[in-house]
Structure formats: C-alpha cells, structure tokens
Amino acid sequence: MKLQVEREKIVKYLNLLITKGLTKGTGGNISIYNEEEGLVAISPSSVPYDILTPEDIMVVDLQGNIVDGNPKYAPSSETGMHLKAYNGRKDIKAFIHTHAMNCTAISCLREPLRAVDYMIAIAGTHEIKCAEYAMYGTPELAENAFEAMKGAKACLLANHGVNVGAEDIENAFAITEYVEFCAELYVKAKSMGEPVILSKEEIDRHIEKFGSYCKL
C-alpha cells in the first residue's frame, strides 16, 4: 500500500477533528505530502470518518491524478486547494482544512483573526487573513486561499472555514487547535466589547522566541 504511514495518520487526525470539536460530520479534509515519493495522501470526499481505514485514503500525484486508494471513493473535493499549497510552498508538507466553529464565525464577518492572544504567533503571523469568497472545490477558492496564506501557516476562508499548512501533520494539527483557541477568545472578547489587539512588533517577538515551540 502506497504511503501507508501517511494514510494511517490521516485516519487518526480526521477522527481527532471530530473528538476535538474542530468540525462536524464529514466537513473538512486532511492531506500529507511525501516529497520523496512525489505523492499526496488525502482524505476521500464525503465519507464518515469513523468508518475510514487507511486503505480508504486516496493517493494522488501533484497534478491530482489518482495513484491509489479505495476505488469506491473520490479524493476530497478540495484536493486542488491542497495541491496548490504543495506545488507553491516548500515549507508545507501537511494540510488541514476544517470548519471549526469560531474560525468559521469570524470568516462570516470577512475579517482577519487578530492578535488577541500571543499564541496566534504559532501560525507565523500577527493576524490570520481571510481569503476572498469562492465556491468550495473550485480553482478560484484554491487561488484565494493560497494568496491569503502567503507568509503564514493559516488563513480563514470567507463564510467557510480555516486552512492550516505546516511541515508535518503533528504541527498542522497543533496549529489548528491553537488558531481555533485564539478565534474563540476573539469571539468572546468581541461579545463583551472591543478587544485590545497585540501589536505586530509584539507578535514578531513571540514568533522569534517560539523557535521550535510547536515542534512535536
């Protein structure tokens, strides 16, 4: 089985999206890029996570051609968005797209997630931009997301959800959790008044200080 380790990890982390409250139903998708093989393991489209096995995870090349996986299933409808990241950025080897509640709520305002907490620095930026709206699964959404995530490890998708890319799936998942934590703080603070936002200079100091903070 091609990319067995990657496919096993995808099953694990898809189920963690549910148990950690980071998505609902079959919402969201996860992929891992094996640079040596030039192949991407990615979750199939619209399959309940609790019934997935590693054999069900799809494997595609960087052009989106199916190489392996359960013939009953198709790769995620957002495969193009994942491949856009892998083809365009050398620092991304794992990618998570999810519909985390608070991130999605902020995306409905079409505003960035701002630095209410220093842990936003874990995404490598002082504010997480919101990509312009486009229909799911389209080249337009893939392009918008890629542009919004430049210089960072995360972006919001307008009226949709959140993307995270990192050097491995462990870090991608950790960043996803912290970004949703920051989003929850932002939503709650906004409900009580106008939150005080940490400066770019302050967050830059945290980015530098973190160093390998999120290396798991």
In-domain check, residue 61: yes
Confidence band, pLDDT 50/70/90 cuts, at residue 163: very high
In-domain check, residue 93: yes
Count of the separate structural domains present in the chain: 1
Give the residue-averaged pLDDT of 154-159. Answer: 98
CATH code at 93?
3.40.225.10
Catalytic residue among 78, 177, 180, 208: 78
| Residue 201 bears catalytic tag | no
Q: What is the pLDDT of residues 175-197, one digit of tens each?
A: 999 999 999 999 999 999 999 99
Contact between 166 and 85 under an 8 Å Cβ cutoff? The reply is no
Q: What is the pLDDT of residues 40-81, one digit of tens each?
A: 999 999 999 999 999 999 999 999 999 999 999 999 999 999
In-domain check, residue 12: yes
> Would you state the pLDDT for residue 216?
44
Give the DSSP letter of residue 93.
Answer: S
In-domain check, residue 135: yes
Confidence band, pLDDT 50/70/90 cuts, at residue 214: very low
Quote the tokens at residue 127.
Answer: 């504010």
Contact between 102 and 186 under an 8 Å Cβ cutoff? The reply is yes
In-domain check, residue 118: yes
In-domain check, residue 142: yes
Give the DSSP letter of residue 209.
Answer: H
Q: State the residue range of the domain holding 142.
A: 4-210
Amino acid symbol at 74: A
In-domain check, residue 215: no
Give the residue-averaged pLDDT of 71-100. Answer: 98
In-domain check, residue 216: no
